[in-house]
Structure 1
Amino acid sequence: MSFVFPTKQLSQLTTEIDYGVTASASDLDTGTKFLRITDIQDGSVEWEKVPFCDAPKSKLQSASLDDGDIVFARTGATTGKSFLIRSPPDGAVFASYLIRVKPSSAVDSGYLAHFFQSSGYWKQIKKRTQGAAQGGVNATSLSQIEIPLPTLDEQRRIAAILDKADALRRKRKRAVALLDSFTRSIFLEMFGDPATNPKKYTSRTFGSISTKMSDGPFGSNLKSDHYVEHGVRVIRLQNIGVGKFVDNDKAFVTKEHFKSLSKHKCLPGDILVGTLGDPNLRACIQPAWLHEALNKADCVQIRVDEKIALPEYIVSLINQPSVEKLAHGLILGQTRSRISMGRLRELAVPIAPLDEQASFVAAVRKASRIRDGLNRSERALSQTFTSLQSRAFSGQL
């Protein structure tokens, strides 16, 4: 791989490249935070939510994290994902499925961390990924990554520019997340917790407020080898977010196949409920641009009777954490926490009067318009950031 700047292997720019400690996570305060791959989400760590480490102090000394360290996921779906450690809690350590890099004085840790987000880095990781199923990297293969290396002053200048661009992008993301939680707060303020029903609304089952409920086809009727590149969209669990349709990981079936499964047809405005995964119960509305679709197994379609309930109200109700707890008694199985459509149909929830629902929906739609604007802004900032990254490591910044 060619870079404009001279390059060095990562091993030449570090004092240590080592593995984390094998130990048990604990909810008990041992005084030692235990950073794992799963604690790194969206480029950040909420240290207050990171568990503690249950192991003798003598075993943990070599795994202690310092400001400026960079940790990498060494296996699984997130292989190669990295995180720059800033102001870790005293004595925090990292787990064995992470690799820790300690940058030397020859390289700025912020510059290095930004390079580990770039396409130049990911191309090298892809080539070095080992293993057939989930893949993985080890300390040796990571140490051989080629790093473009301008002067230290130039590294710091590049890192400062990328820090500012990244901060703007993250602010937009946080604003969108705040709006999502704001919608949940509006619901609770207007209607109270569905589990306790403080306003004594009439409770009705999902079956009684729906004109149609359908789970997706199971077994041989719809398998992954039925998917084609173009056709009718298949809605799967990964497309159902909390209050939002996630338009990625797309799958399609032919129109002919769709006709044979037409009873599972989903239309814009239908409520899509995920009944497996985390959270176990979550819902969104099929967007207007998705004219027709087919829901897969574990995705329940609900078409509400709008003389009784409005889709936005029902989606927000389902997404209240306490409703999942209400449904807990309906969850089947010991290892797979799935709620069947039949049992979901029987779940009774408080239904507010239509005029109150309409007031809530008006507020939600206003928040949604603001969120759409923020999403557009965030996408533009992300494109700008990606462009800056490309220019930075090709000597054009």
Structure 2
Amino acid sequence: MSSLSDVLTTRSAGYWGVEAGGAEVDAKAIRNGDVGTSGELRWRALPWRGYTAREFTKARVHAGDIVLTTSGNCGNVAYVGIEPEDPTVATNFVRVLRTDPTVTDSRYVFHFLRTPTFASAIAPFVRGATIKNLAVESAFAAINIPLPPLSEQRRVAAILDHAEAICTKRRQVLAHLDSLTGAVFQEMFRDAPGTTPMSAVVEEFRYGTSNKSGDSGYPALRIPNVVGGAIDTDEIKTVLVEPAELRRLTLREGDLLFVRTNGNQDNVGRSAIFSEAAVKSAGFEDLPWIYASYLIRARLSDEIEPQFVAGYLATPAGREQLRERSKTSAGQYNINTEALGSIRLPTAPPAAQQEFASRVDVIEEKRKQVSAAGSADAELFASLQSHAFRGEL
């Protein structure tokens, strides 16, 4: 075992710099938000900044480097696999980590820094109530990493690299499926002959209950349950309501739920279709489902397919209409029923809508299969990580 302080021969903090063109050297800058939770680095999002020659030399990243976030979401890491096409540096909330290649394999260390063990070990060194900051030097001095011979490190890293590649491929397939519905919608309805206001095809808009959740009551969907165009039942609260309110708020197959308020404008108006199949796994058999006050329910008329409406609202044109109609107050963006009703939907014959819904069902079924396989991959990868750093691979 060796401390990370001993293993990581370079642990340089970067700089935010100045506006591009305002110093000696321009370079792309890696911010803490550019380092994802799955080990990825969002290269396309990097902004250009200006640096002195000394800052640029100290903070520049090269192939084989590891970058670590030290503020906000502390502990995210990414690996620089190839030399960046553009000159690239770390900013002040990102550390550049390097090893001595004659002693330590950098991919081996990278995989260790992605383990739950490392995440737990840095927790006592993350400080700050509002903005979290990692005390890097103190943490690295206290955290030990198993260090077998270099050949063994490379063997372990190769196994984990292979497993990670499978997980990455599965995420890419999911991302493709996520975008496929929009592509199908554009293909089928780009030449729609006209538009109609959503209010013309909605029987009723209604806000949810403002009653507090408790230990008893009816399962109630909230903002966290409307994610990625679907119903997420990972964390369901129960809310007690009077019989009259229950009748008004009980969800039916095909009801469309909208997020009506959020601090992020892009999340206002995001929607999901309610179905019994979507909530079946939550375990509230025979109980009616209701929804909370920060959601709006649109009960659609029989003449329009819910998936057609949801499909349009997920397109760039649909999202733009939602953005235009959201208003801000006290740092929160909001949309109301009147604004939702004014959204113009493309017109399409029922047969075309039904065909679209059928194609979406096929995509969703495939997505469920890939997602389940991805979950299994993630469990296997976590198991491999655990065994790898106990010398059991």
For residue 388 of structure 1, report the CA deviation from its aligned partner.
1.0
Q: Distance in 2 between matches of 1:332 and 1:374?
A: 37
For residue 231 of structure 1, report the CA deviation from its aligned partner.
5.2
| Residues 120-161 of structure 1 deviation map (CA, whole Å, 9 limit, x = unaligned) | 112212233223445331222332222111111111111100
Say yes or no: does 1:207 pair with 2:223: no
The code of the aligned residue for 2:109 comes to L
| Kept in 1: contact 2:182–2:315 (CA 8 A) | yes
Tell me the residue number matched to 1:11. 5
| Kept in 2: contact 1:228–1:251 (CA 8 A) | no
Tell me the residue number matched to 1:360. 356
Tell me the residue number matched to 2:384. 388
Q: Distance in 2 between matches of 1:246 and 1:216?
A: 17
Q: Distance in 2 between matches of 1:234 and 1:27?
A: 53
For residue 22 of structure 1, report the CA deviation from its aligned partner.
2.4
- The RMSD of aligned alpha carbons is 2.6
For residue 359 of structure 1, report the CA deviation from its aligned partner.
0.8
Tell me the residue number matched to 1:61. 57
Structure-to-structure mapping, 1:129-208, within 5 angstroms: 129-133=126-130, 135-144=132-141, 145-192=143-190, 198-201=191-194, 203-208=195-200
| Kept in 2: contact 1:230–1:252 (CA 8 A) | no
User: Does the residue aligned with 1:379 lie in a helix, a strand or coil?
Assistant: helix
| Kept in 2: contact 1:229–1:251 (CA 8 A) | no
Tell me the residue number matched to 2:283. none
| Residues 85-134 of structure 1 deviation map (CA, whole Å, 9 limit, x = unaligned) | 22233420111122222222322111111111112112212233223445
For residue 327 of structure 1, report the CA deviation from its aligned partner.
3.5
User: Does the residue aligned with 1:370 lie in a helix, a strand or coil?
Assistant: helix
Q: Distance in 2 between matches of 1:374 and 1:84?
A: 26
Tell me the residue number matched to 1:79. 74
Alignment counterpart, residue 21 of structure 1, candidates 15, 28, 32: 15
| Kept in 2: contact 1:25–1:34 (CA 8 A) | no
Structure 1 gap ranges (5+) = 1-6, 193-197
Q: Distance in 2 between matches of 1:124 and 1:89?
A: 34
Structure-to-structure mapping, 1:230-309, within 5 angstroms: 232-248=218-234, 250-254=235-239, 256-257=240-241, 262=246, 263-275=248-260, 276=262, 277=264, 278-287=266-275, 288-290=277-279, 292-306=288-302, 308-309=303-304
Using the TM superposition, name which of 183-192 and 371-380 deviates more: 371-380
Aligned residues: 374
Q: Distance in 2 between matches of 1:360 and 1:387?
A: 40
Q: 1:211 to 1:99 in 2, by over 3 A?
A: same
Structure 2 gap ranges (5+) = 280-286
| Kept in 1: contact 2:192–2:346 (CA 8 A) | no
Q: 1:375 to 1:131 in 2, by over 3 A?
A: same
Say yes or no: does 1:44 pair with 2:30: no
Q: 1:11 to 1:239 in 2, by over 3 A?
A: same
Say yes or no: does 1:331 pair with 2:316: no
Q: 1:259 to 1:15 in 2, by over 3 A?
A: farther
The code of the aligned residue for 2:343 comes to L
Percent identity between the aligned chains? 24
Q: Distance in 2 between matches of 1:246 and 1:11?
A: 42
TM-score (norm 2): 0.86
The code of the aligned residue for 2:232 comes to V
| Kept in 1: contact 2:20–2:26 (CA 8 A) | no
Q: 1:172 to 1:235 in 2, by over 3 A?
A: same
The code of the aligned residue for 2:225 comes to N
Q: 1:379 to 1:141 in 2, by over 3 A?
A: same
Tell me the residue number matched to 2:284. none
Q: Distance in 1 between matches of 2:216 and 2:374?
A: 29
For residue 289 of structure 1, report the CA deviation from its aligned partner.
4.1
| Kept in 2: contact 1:17–1:143 (CA 8 A) | no
Q: Distance in 1 between matches of 2:71 and 2:16?
A: 15
User: Does the residue aligned with 2:133 lie in a helix, a strand or coil?
Assistant: coil
User: Does the residue aligned with 1:204 lie in a helix, a strand or coil?
Assistant: strand
User: Does the residue aligned with 1:363 lie in a helix, a strand or coil?
Assistant: helix
Tell me the residue number matched to 1:195. none
For residue 189 of structure 1, report the CA deviation from its aligned partner.
0.4
User: Does the residue aligned with 1:18 lie in a helix, a strand or coil?
Assistant: strand
